[in-house]
Amino acid sequence: MKNLEFIIITGLSGAGRSEAIKCFEDMGYFCIDNFPPGLIIDMIELRSSAESKVDKIAVVSDVRGGEFFDALTETLNELSKRKISYQILFLEASDETLVKRFKETRRKHPLSLEGGVIDGIKKERRLMETLRGKADMIIDTSDLESFELRDKIRSSFLGEKKQKGLLITVISFGYKYGIPLDADLVMDVRFLPNPHYIEELKPLSGLDEKVRNFVMKHSEAKIFLRKFTDLLTFLLPHYIPEGKTHFVIALGCTGGMHRSVVLAEEINKFLTKKGYNTVVKHRELT
pLDDT tens, 122-172? 888 888 888 888 888 889 998 888 877 887 787 777 654 454 457 888 999
pLDDT at site 260: 97
Q: What is the CA angle 180-184-189, rounded to 5?
A: 65
Residue 46 to residue 66: CA distance in whole angstroms = 24
Q: 39-78 as b/e, with b when 16 or more CB fall inside 10 Å?
A: bbbebbeebeeeeeeeebbbbbbbbebeebbebbeebbee
**Predicted pLDDT of residue 186:** 97
| One CATH from 1.10.10.10, 3.40.50.300, 3.30.1330.200, 3.40.50.720 for 5-158 | 3.40.50.300
- pTM for the model: 0.56
Question: Which of 214, 217, 218, 191 shows the shortest CA–CA distance to 202?
Answer: 214
The parts of the chain modelled with pLDDT lower than 70 are 1-2, 49-52, 65-70, 113-115, 158-165, 243
- Burial class of residue 255, CB neighbours in 10 A (0-12, 13-18, 19+): middle
How is the chain split into domains, by residue range?
Answer: 5-158, 163-285
DSSP secondary structure string, 134-203?
Answer: H-SEEEE-TT--HHHHHHHHHHHHH-TTTGGG-EEEEEEEEGGG---TT-SEEEE-TTSPPGGGSTTTTT
Output the pLDDT for position 1.
42
Burial 104-135 (b: 16+ CB within 10 A, else e): eeeeebbbbeeeebeebbebbeeebeebeeeb
pLDDT, position 191: 97
